[in-house]
Amino acid sequence: MIVGETTDVGARKPKAHGALDPVLMMLVVLAIAIGLTWVVPSGAFDREHRNVIPGTYHAVPKQRAPEYLIEPARSTDKTAYPASLTALFTAQPAGMKQSAGLIFMIMFLGGMFGILRASGAMDAAIDRLVAKTGGRVAILVPVLMIAISAGSAFLGLISEYLLIIPIMLTLAERLNLSKLFGLAVVAVAAKIGYLASVANPVALVIAQPIAGVPVFSGWWLRLAIWVVLLAIGVLMVLRLARVEGTGVAPTSHAGEALPPRQLAIVLSLGVAVVVIVVGSTSFGWHDEAFGAFYIALGAAIAALAGMAPKAAAHAFIDGMKSMMLAALLVGMAAAVEIVLREGVVLDTIIDALSGLASDKPSWLVGQALMAIEMVLTVLIPSTSAKAALSMPILVPIAQLNGVTGQSTVLAFLLGNGLMNMLSPTSGMLLAYLATAQVPYSDWARFILPLWGLLTVFCFVVIAFASAFGYA
């Protein structure tokens, strides 16, 4: 019954609440990217492995014949071609192929949650949590957000938190709050943690060696930034809760102990979180490994719940269906970068933007570096890919203008983190929104005031860091 109800509601959502708006938005962004390949000159840097070699930018002749509007042509090292109109359709399968690991991980995560919902353990555990805390949001929000944000700031967790969003949505429902609140608890905390990246191995292991500074050095300023920004984020989420109201009415059985089967399922989820963290940080797990783990976890939950194999299979499939929109958006976001890369315009854009950071006072150079990274994040949401493209070019420019390598890394982290909270090309943000069934427009209305406040703070911090030789 639970599975059937979930499926039925999910089928009606796109029409009733505009859940397909992100798809239309991504189509517009993809069309703009195609247009840029026609108007922006093509050019390229030489590369050593993934990293560009500074000072090697050269123009690549571009053919703009009208027939290329319809007939696609593949760019080479000697000749570039703009994207054809057919790329509006062909780039999407290419983007999904490029992001296949993440897409299947998201779908298998949905399947696991389909089984978890059918078991009833998650609802019972949330009921008990609400009863034990009296539904006091002022206690729940800070504790949850600190834990989530610390995972991003110190371990680089971000896609792993798709696992948490459905749990937070159930908690929001029990508190008589919106899905936006449940999403905000996870997304605001995770994005702020990734922005600060106190000891984030994903970002720092790539960016700091390029900048010529020891990995994880300069942690003290990033820690201070994390504390301040997270405090602001917690206050904004608490403000959202106050605006929506918290008329909590726990059920009569909410305070009862969980039955043995449900308790075992809840404990297995706790173990799963530990396994995910260890697998990610110690064993180098990526999307494919996480996807396999979610399949195994779903099977374990079904066994602990005593579900019949046929019922578990149906629940898993229904859960996968609920994540189809998230999977589609991840592929579409990757398609934007593919179009720009195949049109050979990404290097031209970074070469042009790098001029903004030249021949200025050091404090202004730091702000320019951060602004450049913000623009690049819209075009290249991937943190590692953006570091490989931008850092080798910006570090020498920063040094010539008296900005330390540590400040350049900080500008990269802040610009990357800020725009991934808001950018419509961020596949992970869109996956968060689709998982929570929150339209992008609702998220933008909520996050823009907070984003503006964080942006002003970060521009001030990078100016001081650049001016006073942060190292």
Using one digit for the tens of pLDDT, what is the confidence trace for 375-427? 999 988 888 888 888 899 999 999 989 999 999 999 999 999 999 999 988 88
pLDDT of residue 80 exceeding 90, the answer is yes
Q: Does residue 126 lie within any of the structural domains?
A: yes
Q: Where are the alpha helices (DSSP H) in 306-426?
A: 309-321, 324-342, 346-354, 362-379, 383-400, 405-419
Q: Does residue 76 lie within any of the structural domains?
A: no
Least confident of 213-217, 241-245, 295-299, 380-384: 380-384
In angstroms, the CA 25 to CA 335 distance is: 13
Specify whether the backbone of 71 is left (phi greater than 0), alpha (psi in -120 to 50) or beta: beta
Q: Does residue 311 lie within any of the structural domains?
A: yes
User: Tens digit of pLDDT for each residue in 63-72?
Assistant: 999 999 998 9
Q: Does residue 60 lie within any of the structural domains?
A: no
Residue linked to tokens 């896609």: 159
Could you give the number of structural domains in the chain? 1
In angstroms, the CA 451 to CA 461 distance is: 15
In angstroms, the CA 432 to CA 343 distance is: 29
- Mean pLDDT of the chain, nearest integer: 88
- Sign of the Cα pseudo-torsion (127, 252, 118, 170, in order): negative
How many of the other CB atoms lie within 10 Å of CB of 304?
Answer: 20
Tokens representing 114 are: 């389909």
Helix (H, G, I), strand (E, B) or coil at 139: helix
The DSSP output letter for 160 is: G
Q: Would you tell me the crossing angle of helices 100-119 and 324-342 to the nearest 10 degrees?
A: 170
Q: Where are the alpha helices (DSSP H) in 134-200?
A: 137-155, 165-174, 179-196
pTM of the predicted structure, to 2 decimals:
0.83
pLDDT band at 9 (very low <50, low <70, confident <90, very high): very low
pLDDT of residue 323 exceeding 90, the answer is no
pLDDT band at 437 (very low <50, low <70, confident <90, very high): confident
pLDDT of residue 13: 42
| Whether 103 contacts 97, CB under 8 Å | no
Range 193-208 average pLDDT:
90
AA letter at 441? S
Q: Does residue 161 lie within any of the structural domains?
A: yes
Helix (H, G, I), strand (E, B) or coil at 308: coil
Q: Does residue 112 lie within any of the structural domains?
A: yes
pLDDT of residue 21: 65
The DSSP output letter for 47 is: E
Q: Does residue 77 lie within any of the structural domains?
A: no
User: Tens digit of pLDDT for each residue in 84-100?
Assistant: 999 999 999 999 999 89
Domain with 419, as residue range(s), is 2-53+84-467
Q: Does residue 58 lie within any of the structural domains?
A: no
Cβ neighbourhood burial of 24 (10 Å; 0-12, 13-18, 19+):
exposed
